[in-house]
Amino acid sequence: ILILHLSCIKDKTELNHVIRMAKTIIGANLLLSKLDLIHRSRYHLHLQAEDESHQNFQKPSAP
């Protein structure tokens, strides 16, 4: 799972923009698996590839 550490996001519109940018950069179909509001405007954004074959950017899980 790719985790983006975000801060200074004012609202949902800005958040959605960041998600779209992340999808564009990685080039995979991503799902927003989890969004943690840590502290006011600080977020942990967990992005997960929809298709297993697109998860090249992830660390392989231990057996």
Position 53 scores a pLDDT of 46
Q: Would you state the pLDDT for residue 13? A: 80
Entry pTM: 0.37
Q: What is the pLDDT of residues 22-60, one digit of tens each?
A: 767 666 565 555 555 555 555 566 656 555 444 444 455
* pLDDT confidence band for 16 (50 / 70 / 90): confident
Q: Structural domain of residue 19, as residue ranges?
A: 2-52
Q: Is residue 61 part of a domain?
A: no
Burial state string for 27-52 with b = 16 or more CB within 10 A and e = fewer than 16:
ebebeeeeeeeeeeeebebbbbbeee
Provide the number of structural domains found in the chain.
Answer: 1
- Residue 20 has a pLDDT of 77
Quick check: is 38 in a domain? yes
pLDDT for residue 54: 43
